[in-house]
Amino acid sequence: MSGFTALLARDLRLVWRRPGDVMVVLAFFVVATVLFPLGIGPETNLLARIAAGILWCAALFAALLSLDRLFAADYEDGALDLLLLAPWPLELAALAKCLAHWIVTGLPLAVLAPFMGLLFGLSGEGLAALGLTLLVGTPALSLIGGLAAALTLGARRGGALLALLALPLCVPTLIFGAGAVEAVATGGGFLTHLAILGALALLSLATLPWAIAAALRQAGE
């Protein structure tokens, strides 16, 4: 078994031991989307108008809330040292951990979101756009969040401030994700948006594993 597979399998198994954990993230997503109508008021037209933004925001929050322990657990129990000492590239380890996170959060969120869209009265096409953009956009969120999680490990005072830099990195993904759904609502096509989202995800994939690995090495010192 390659180390990459082993790590992926381990993380998925850890989640499998407590299947409730995935449910919790999804439940959080549902609760969060419900909170916005409670804050804004129950007018159906208004809600349909802002549904895309709300659902994408809630997905971001759900991803972020489940990300903060991504590396911290390994850091605190010493398992991070074992990853740093594994005889294969740390970049792959970073990728495996982000992939495991995406499988247990991004993927289910993309499946669930269209159902929540129903509550907000989105059209059928809008629902499809929502699911697709989330499917394409969430890998970038997992990677960016993974970077923030790695940067905030341990002692460095600057860590928190660096995370502050990572947050705005999510903004483009959100804008194009929410924008795609709205484009559908206003009669436009969403393929351009989807392509841009895909490009963002690929860009993250091509750069962030290195950044995450560097941050993890810092934390190991």
Partner 1 sequence: MASLHVLANPARFRRFSQKVLPVLSGATALVLAVGLYLALVESPPDYQQGETVRIMFIHVPSAWLAMAGYALLAGLGAALLVWRHPLAALMARAAAPVGAVFAAVCLLTGSLWGRPMWGTYWVWDARLTSMLLLFFLYLGHIALSRAYDDAERGDRAAAILALVGVINLPVIKFSVDWWNTLHQPASVMKLGGPSIHPAILTPLMVMAAALLLLFVVLVMVRTETEIDRRRLDAAERAQ
Partner 2 sequence: MTDLEVTGLGCRRGGRPVFRDLSFSLAKGELLALTGRNGSGKTTLLRALALLVPADAGAIHWQGADVAADREAWRRRIAWLGHLDGLKGDLTVRENVATACHLREEGTERVDAALAAFELGPLASRSVRTLSAGQRRRAALARVVAAGARLWLLDEPLNALDAPSQAALRAALGQHLATGGLAIAATHAPIDVPNARTLLMDSSPPPGGEEHEP
In the complex, minimum distance from the CB of residue 124 to a second copy, in angstroms, rounded to a whole number = 21
Q: Which amino acid is at 57?
A: C
Q: What residue 9 binds from partner 2, partner 1, a second copy, none (CB within 5 to 8 A, per partner kind)?
A: partner 2
Q: Scanning the structure block, which residue is given the tokens 């905030």?
A: 152
Q: Which of 178, 44, 184 lies closest to 125, judged by CA?
A: 184
Contact stretch for a second copy (CB under 8 A) within 58-66, 106-114, 126-134, 209-217:
58-66
**Structure token digits, residue 171:** 């903004």
Q: Which 57-76 residues touch partner 1, going by CB under 8 A? A: none
Q: What residue 42 binds from a second copy, partner 2, partner 1, none (CB within 5 to 8 A, per partner kind)?
A: partner 1
- Over the window 109 to 128, marking each residue x when it contacts a second copy by CB under 8 A and - when it does not, the resulting string is --------------------
In the complex, minimum distance from the CB of residue 172 to partner 1, in angstroms, rounded to a whole number = 4
Q: Which of 149, 151, 180, 194 binds partner 1 (CB under 8 A)?
A: 151
Calpha distance 108→119 (Å, rounded) = 18
**Tally of CB atoms within 10 A around 161:** 11
Nearer to a second copy, 119 or 175 (CB): 175
Q: Which of 2, 5, 44, 123 binds partner 1 (CB under 8 A)?
A: 44
Q: Which 186-215 residues touch partner 1, going by CB under 8 A? A: 200, 203, 207-208, 211, 214-215
Q: Which of 29, 56, 71, 176 binds partner 1 (CB under 8 A)?
A: 176
